[in-house]
Structure 1
Amino acid sequence: MEKKKFWSYENKLVMIFFFSIGFVFFDRLAINYLIPFIQEDFSLTNTQIGLVSAALAITWSISGPIGGILSDKAKSKKAVLAIFVLLFSVVSLLHGLVGSFVMLFVLRLIMGLVEGPIVPITQSILTVESSENRRGFNSGFTMNTGNAVFGSFLAPLVIVALANAFDWHTAFYLTIVPGVILAFVIFKYVKNPDQAKITQVSSLAPKEKINFKQMLKHRNVWLSIVIFSAFMTYIMAFNIYGPLFLVNVKGVSASTMSIVMASFGAGFALFGVIVPAISDRIGRKPISLAFGFLSIFTPLVLIYVDSLALTLILVFAFSSGTGVAALVMSAIPTESVPFQYAGAAIGLTIGIGEFFGGFLNPIISGIAADTFGLTAPLFISSGAATVAFLCSFLLIESSPSKVAVEQTESSSLVKV
């Protein structure tokens, strides 16, 4: 038997998408760690801060499903992907020129349009090119670990350090360089999936013709949408208002705040790949329940724990629940419909999740913060994680390895 090389096309693809998605979320989340600086310059209310985040999310929720359709229809998926990567890098650079709340709001709207299609396109390509026993790992490593390493771990440390050393405008000017490099790498090294392979992979799933309305009839698809929406609410409320709570209520320095938020990012990065990988072996549902439960306590740590050391440890440990996000965003919905509709299933999940968790949530959380104080968004974050945990009880197991075992056992019982 020929030994498979480590540097296979599958692994190359995983690494390219790891950096691609990582820089998407670096640019998306960087503004959260700069908000204490921007708030001072523009005298922003908490409601306006929520609107800035909501602006990106509403256009992301529109362009996400469109990106899913593009990934299913486009003849050259890699060309479409490379173009969007280059576009979001240019828009990110323009953030450095912002001089008012209105300009910032408009640029966030545009950023959502050009970033939204990237995740559905990368994940639909990855679904086809992944080995069956590595779909959870590949999705978790690119979506969760890529997101966490760049967006939740490096971003608070690098962005806050740059803002302290120079000013918050400077950080945005640097994003064009990795964007250009990534666009070139994608165009040169990513291959368009072979149609024969798509057909072959799709033979493992049901054969009926599916559209968006029909996809919602699959229990795992609408449950994934609900759970992902709740996870988006949990993560975004924590990421947007956690830094403000630490600086404005707890009275810590911006540097200390960046370390606390980076501990969340470090756990997100580590568990974001470990949790989906474990789910490949023991199933999606038990993992969603076990680790989803821990997410409930992450925002509560900021409110009730005063020790910095204990806060760092607990935030890191409880961030393991974020590993469930990749499962309900990608693995579970794509395993529940024919794979030729993988991009559409992911796009639908992301689009609706962005609308509720990314668009409505920051506005409601911002109003709640202005009305009841900055603890309110953190309670909203914890409540959303509770909803995600409870809904996970209704999931139908979709892991190929577990489904195969169940089918084998069922066939054996029938023969007996």
Structure 2
Amino acid sequence: MQLYASNKRKIMISGLLFVGMILSFFDRVAINVGIIPIAEEFHLTTSQTGILISIFFVSYSLMQPLGGWMTDKYGARVMVTVSLFSWSLFTVMTGFAWSFMSLLFIRFLFGLGEGPFYPASMSTIRDNFPEEERGRANSFFLSAQNIGGILGTALAASMVVAFGWRGMFTIAGILGILASFGIWFILKPQGNQKVKKDKPKQKKVALKLLFKIENIWKLITFKFISNIINYGLITWMPIYLVKEKGVDLIAAGGLLAIPYIFGFLMFNVSGWLLDKHMANREKYLAAAGALLSAIFLFLMSNATSIALIITYLTLNSVALSFFGTVLYTIIIKYSPKELTGSASGLVTFAGQIAGAVSPLALGLIISLFNDSYNAAFLFLVILALLGTIVAVSIKNNQAQPAKEYEKTTTIV
């Protein structure tokens, strides 16, 4: 029988993973602020600037499935620590870049380093929290994305002014390295969690078993759809507010922080709902979130004032918070323990591909329809409705170890 961490230790683990996720989003978002002085110093063209921002998503997405597999093979403690340490080291190195090519190479390595963190964190939650607490633990961890997003813009800008872009990356990287040491020691098995000395090394995981999980393609599809919507809004809403609605750029930045704040709160509320009231019914919360997202996106596209636009955008952020929480909670609750990391990595990989595709797709739609943002919003509404259908079709069942389904099909 598996014994989980004590309450005190679970709080420490949750806190460190939360900090790790904040640093993750801060480091990847801060480049959007730092790129302004970077472009001036290295005399970058517009295309070079775009490549520099995008290169992270290329290496990060490629590392998702491999990072998940490495987590299942080497263990969550090793991969969480290695990931946080390595991407933090590359963050420090960013501050010492001497040319465009050196910066491009470092940012590529940064994406590779950060890749395993997400799936390894999912496995860490599964290893240390009983099933009835995993929804809250997962949602608290994921809610750190919103804090990282806010700090990656507001705080990063202040740090650039105070310390320069090199100083900003150096400070952020040092904090991450210190956090990695904390995670390594906190995740060390203690007391009743210690493994037997004669326990064999963690066995290799056959990746082909992932595709015997019946719902894996539904989870991948749902993640892809949700990230098309999420990244589409992140990319185009600032431009929409400034160019289409005439909002001042600084004011737009402040207004767009509001959905992050409410998203953070609702991530944690949805985790509580999952654990207390939605056991074996998680998919219905996902479906409700997708349906509400479609409604709020439609209302936002027809809003007649800035106040209404931000209101519906905030409500949509609340609805979207159900997407990620439910998705990964289903994985860590019901997927076989041996494949939790791999499943998380594969699903996250699909989400990052969507992140790269979404801005391009919406830009193309806006151009094809004579600069009509309503066409882009309608596209997102249709995707949200499709997500509702996919969510309802997901089947839930109790988790089984990998050995029990090597010759069968298992439901996640």
TM-score w.r.t. length of structure 1 = 0.77
Distance in 2, Cα, partners of 1:87 & 1:136: 28
**Alignment check: 8 A CA contact 1:33 1:243 kept:** no
**Alignment check: 8 A CA contact 2:270 2:325 kept:** no
Q: Structure 2 stretches of 5 or more lacking a match?
A: 400-412
Aligned to 1:92: 91
Aligned to 1:323: 321
Deviations 1:41-96 (A, max 9, x none): 74536x974x5554322322221122212221216x43432232122123234445
Q: Does structure 1 residue 292 correspond to structure 2 residue 284?
A: no
Q: Structure 1 stretches of 5 or more lacking a match?
A: 200-208, 401-416
Aligned to 1:178: 175
Amino acid paired to 2:10: E
Q: Does structure 1 residue 221 correspond to structure 2 residue 219?
A: no
Deviation at 1:380, TM superposition (A): 5.0
Larger mean Cα displacement after TM superposition, 120-129 or 375-384: 375-384
Show the 5 A alignment for 1:71-220: 71-74=71-74, 77-96=76-95, 105-143=104-142, 145-151=143-149, 153-162=150-159, 171-192=168-189, 211-220=206-215
Deviation at 1:226, TM superposition (A): 0.7
Aligned to 1:270: 265
Deviations 1:335-387 (A, max 9, x none): 343212111111111123322x1233344445556666483765555444333
Deviation at 1:313, TM superposition (A): 2.9
**Alignment check: 8 A CA contact 2:81 2:180 kept:** yes
**Alignment check: 8 A CA contact 1:220 1:336 kept:** no
Alignment CA distance shift 1:104-1:310 (3 Å): farther
**Alignment check: 8 A CA contact 1:232 1:358 kept:** yes
Show the 5 A alignment for 1:380-391: 380-391=379-390
Alignment CA distance shift 1:399-1:140 (3 Å): farther
Aligned to 2:256: 261
Deviation at 1:20, TM superposition (A): 0.8
Across the two proteins, how many residue pairs are aligned to each other? 380
Amino acid paired to 2:285: I
Amino acid paired to 1:333: I
**Alignment check: 8 A CA contact 1:236 1:358 kept:** yes
Show the 5 A alignment for 1:370-389: 373=371, 375=373, 380-389=379-388
**Alignment check: 8 A CA contact 2:56 2:111 kept:** yes
* Identical residues among aligned pairs (%): 21
Show the 5 A alignment for 1:222-261: 222-261=217-256
**Alignment check: 8 A CA contact 1:95 1:169 kept:** yes
TM-score w.r.t. length of structure 2 = 0.78
**Alignment check: 8 A CA contact 1:64 1:350 kept:** yes
Amino acid paired to 2:235: I
**Alignment check: 8 A CA contact 1:10 1:129 kept:** yes
**Alignment check: 8 A CA contact 1:163 1:170 kept:** yes
**Alignment check: 8 A CA contact 1:95 1:172 kept:** yes
Deviation at 1:264, TM superposition (A): 1.7
Distance in 1, Cα, partners of 2:300 & 2:14: 34
Deviation at 1:271, TM superposition (A): 0.8
Deviation at 1:39, TM superposition (A): 8.2
**Alignment check: 8 A CA contact 1:154 1:262 kept:** no
Larger mean Cα displacement after TM superposition, 333-342 or 297-306: 297-306
Deviations 1:228-261 (A, max 9, x none): 1111221122222322333344343332122222
